[in-house]
Amino acid sequence: MRASYIRVMDRLQWLCVAWCSLAIVAMTLMIFTGVVMRYVFETGARFAEPMSIFFAVQLAMYGAAACYRTNAHLRLMVVVNLLPERLGYLVDHLVQLMLGAVAVAMIYYGTSLARTTWFQAYPEFEYIRVGTVYAAIPISGVIFLLFVIERFLFGQQGLDAEAEELKRAIAQTEIEQARESAD
């Protein structure tokens, strides 16, 4: 069960990273096209801005989930590293529970936002609904929640789990050295 779940999460993370890579390339091409159309051909590319917004939302939502799984996000571990190991463990689990609550809020409120805006259309694209843009919020919330559950049950996974363990060992050694030199 554990290996299967982690394997599925690895694939889900890969999909998030692949989608984000596609989104950043598409967004860059859209903005470049808009600039060229405006300054070279003296006519605006009406599609460039709304499509760039679409890809920016996708990049932010799915990128955040992928970054969480690999610990590539901003976090402050200084205080946790100074705590005794057992208390640090409890604080880390409390943080995971709070992040799970954030994921549930993303699912609930993101679904509400997507439903509210589902029938609104972009003037430039009548066939693309605004709700499809914001559907990334609840979908990434589900992915984020699955990653939180994975970390809660099995510990840190992802591409840099071994590097994270090495960082913790180095940080713990530095803390012990600082305590010894203070005595």
Provide the domain count of the chain: 1
Closest of 146, 64, 142 to residue 108, by C-alpha: 142
- Amino acid 161: pLDDT: 55
The SS3 assignment for 121 reads strand
pLDDT tens series, the chain, 183 aa: 788 888 888 899 999 999 999 999 999 998 898 888 888 888 877 788 888 888 899 999 999 998 888 877 666 667 777 788 888 788 888 888 999 999 999 999 999 999 999 888 877 777 778 888 899 999 999 999 999 999 888 877 655 555 566 677 777 787 788 778 776
- Amino acid 76: pLDDT: 65
- Amino acid 59: pLDDT: 92
Could you tell me the maximum CA-CA distance found in the chain, to the nearest angstrom? Answer: 72
CA distance 41 to 87: 63
pTM, two decimal places = 0.76
Contact 63, 20 (CB under 8 A): yes
Closest of 129, 103, 107, 126 to residue 116, by C-alpha: 129
- Amino acid 74: pLDDT: 66
Contact 60, 23 (CB under 8 A): no
Q: Whole-angstrom distance between the N-terminal and C-terminal Cα of the chain?
A: 48
Closest of 12, 5, 3, 110 to residue 69, by C-alpha: 12
The SS3 assignment for 102 reads helix
The SS3 assignment for 84 reads coil
CA distance 66 to 133: 19
Q: Which domain holds residue 26?
A: 2-182
- Amino acid 160: pLDDT: 55
Contact 140, 60 (CB under 8 A): no
- Amino acid 142: pLDDT: 96
Instruction: Taking the CA atoms of 59, 65, 71 and 77 in sequence, report the sign of the dihedral they define.
Output: positive
- Amino acid 63: pLDDT: 92
